[in-house]
Amino acid sequence: MDLRRERHHQRLQRAWRISPPFLLTAGFMVLILVGTALLKLPLAVHAPLSWGEALFTATSAVTVTGLVVTDTGPSFSIWGEAVILVLMQAGGLGLMTFAVLALLSLGGRVRGRRYLVASTPYNETHPRDVIRTAKAVVKLALVIEGIALVPLALVWVPEHGWLQGLWWSLFHTVSAFNNAGFTLSPDSLMAYAGNPVINMVIPALYLIGGLGFIVVIGILDYPRSRQLDINVKVVLFGTLVLSVMGAAMIYMLESDNPATLAALPGLSDQLWASWLQATTPRTAGFNSLDISALTQPTSLVLMLLMFVGAGANGTGSGIKVATLFVLLAATWAYLRRRSQPTLFSQAIDTTTLLKALAVAVMAVLGIFMGTLALSMTEDADLLTVAFEATSALGTVGLTQGLTTELSGGGQVIIMVMMFVGRVCPLTVAYLVGSAFASSRDSMQSELQIG
């Protein structure tokens, strides 16, 4: 009797288990369709919105990209803005939850076991584990957003009054943590280019969100464990290097540009603007400088940063920081004629290299195909088109002005790229990882790619 009951229980479990990539894709599609319908309601807008504009906005919000064909604040009512806020939160935290589940289902390990609430069967995910992991991710996100809400309110409440000021603070907190880049101002954060509070809190939110759940709990557990996983080390080191070098390059390239940094009154304002503009391409999408006025070298720097993106388990996209440093380590090992690349004295196995290569190659092909398609549908120069394609595939949200002028075909291309850029990297990493199940105890359990 016990054996029969156990077999029946196993059959029920198998019936309810679903593939994480299918869960992610289906969940995002449902969110986009529901969001489109809600944004099309008359109470959601100040003026009639076409189905195409509603679909584009919902897709951008769910994929936490931030590209818009119509300005958010002037176009949408409080109800419409609330819908966008919920879509951003659901999209960003949904991706973070999937990333944790994918890691665990591939045999991954997480430091700080008191934070670990999900344990999935190999290669499959039970709905119960999805709920438990989602609760942990949401709890962490709400705590971080709640803390950041206070300093932002100190800026926007005196400026807009209590109700609107608190709403601005909440909206931008959710948008920043989820790396969405949606703002209620038509010029994004350009009016706050020299504001220290905005330039500290907003980047802190999207950088923490971009680090991801695994990295954050690894940091929180450090005082007890006194050790950091290889993934935590790589993501923290990579984020620091890319942020500092990016800010330095933007300052050097734009300090004499009268349309960007040179238009700001003082050195501190220029440094703050350089900092935000260097960190936001890590898929956040805010801007305190006029992106269309940037020099070509600066645009290329931003495209590289957009291509790299954020951490593997975070709310950002791109090929991921770990992917870049795995490829750099492999290149360095090849130049030194070493057979085994290493990162922080940790050997990188074949599975990790294959995942990094697969994600990077697919991202390059995606940007090429997107640029090619947009160059056929839009009347714009190649750099502008390539910038838009990179921004869309990296779910960044920065634009040189092309988004609002897109043709119908161009809008479809950008929507497809935003969706693919959101779900594809982790899906590829999951599939490659599951194809190499025998190496589940090697480095791929520690260093997350994609």
- Note the pLDDT tens digit of each residue in 300-355: 999 999 999 887 666 667 888 888 999 999 999 999 998 889 888 888 888 888 88
Q: Which residues of the chain have pLDDT under 70?
A: 1-21, 95-96, 98-133, 312-316, 425-450
Asked, for residue 235, whether it belongs to a domain, the answer is yes
Asked, for residue 104, whether it belongs to a domain, the answer is yes
DSSP 400: S
Q: Give the torsion through C-alpha atoms of 273, 276, 280, 282, to 10 deg.
A: 120
Asked, for residue 283, whether it belongs to a domain, the answer is yes
Asked, for residue 87, whether it belongs to a domain, the answer is yes
Handedness of CA 70, 72, 75, 79 (dihedral sign): positive
Q: According to the model, what pLDDT value does residue 7 have?
A: 59
Q: Which of 292, 267, 244 is nearest to 400 (CA)?
A: 292
Asked, for residue 202, whether it belongs to a domain, the answer is yes
Q: Which residues contact 42 (CB under 8 A, 6 or more apart)?
A: none
Q: Which residues contact 157 (CB under 8 A, 6 or more apart)?
A: 165, 166, 169
- Note the pLDDT tens digit of each residue in 271-283: 999 999 999 997 8
Asked, for residue 440, whether it belongs to a domain, the answer is yes
Handedness of CA 218, 219, 222, 227 (dihedral sign): positive
Q: According to the model, what pLDDT value does residue 6 have?
A: 59
Q: What is the DSSP string of 45-64?
A: BSS---HHHHHHHHHHHHTT
* Integer Cα distance of 289 and 274 in angstroms: 9
Radius of gyration, alpha carbons of the chain = 22
Give the range of the structural domain holding residue 119, as residue numbers without chain letter.
Answer: 2-445
Q: Give the torsion through C-alpha atoms of 314, 66, 386, 379, to 10 deg.
A: 170
Domain count, the chain: 1
Asked, for residue 450, whether it belongs to a domain, the answer is no
Asked, for residue 412, whether it belongs to a domain, the answer is yes
Q: What is the pTM of this model?
A: 0.86
Q: According to the model, what pLDDT value does residue 136 have?
A: 78
Q: According to the model, what pLDDT value does residue 156 have?
A: 96
